[in-house]
Amino acid sequence: MTGASDLPPLKAVFLDRDGVLNIDHGYVFDPARLEWIEGAREAVAAISRAGLKVLVVTNQSGIGRGYFDEADMDRFHDAMQDQLAELGGQINAFYYSPFHEAAIVEAYRVADHPDRKPNPGMILRGLADWNLKPEEAVIIGDRHIDVEAGNRAGMPGYLFKGGNLRAFVAQVLGDRVPELK
């Protein structure tokens, strides 16, 4: 049986956004509608304090569907960063996929784009950008496609079914990140 001590040090945590960090109201892009999942800011702050990278990978088909644009999404992410900074947390990078087979914006109308989860494109880009090996990272998501994308990239995934994200992260990663206990 492989224990946490047999694994390489954890260097990064990939997180889905809607449903893991913020409440998913459906195509959330307005900073005024940012509502954090219980314990999410605290989880990101603890991961940051532990010296790990926090990388968000999020399907954002609302861009391709014309519901909002990339500038709107950037404003939402800026608001997240500002509120995380209050607790000493930060997201090192946001990776997003605006692609969807039903997109009305032609540039984003792509069936089965390599970046759209469950495909691992965003995760693979994050690994490359931060010089990480898959065994040095994990992914936490609220849908099976998040875990599958991580598995396709060669890393373990954890399915967050709601509740307090800080407690969940401590439960699943506490042995690899003692600062979370």
Active-site entry in 6, 16, 115, 129: 16
| The two structure tokens encoding residue 125 | 């880009």
**Which amino acid appears at position 56 of this protein?**
V
Q: What is the C-alpha end-to-end distance of the chain, expressed in Å?
A: 23
Residues whose CB is less than 8 angstroms from the CB of residue 89 and which lie 6 or more positions away in sequence, other chains included: 41, 42, 44, 45, 46, 47, 48, 49, 54
Report H helices in 65-158.
70-85, 121-129, 144-152
Is 18 a catalytic site residue?
A: yes
Is 16 a catalytic site residue?
A: yes
Tokens 């996929």 locate to 97
CA 113 to chain centre: 18
Residue 178 preceded by cis peptide, ω within 30: no
Residues with a known catalytic role:
16, 18
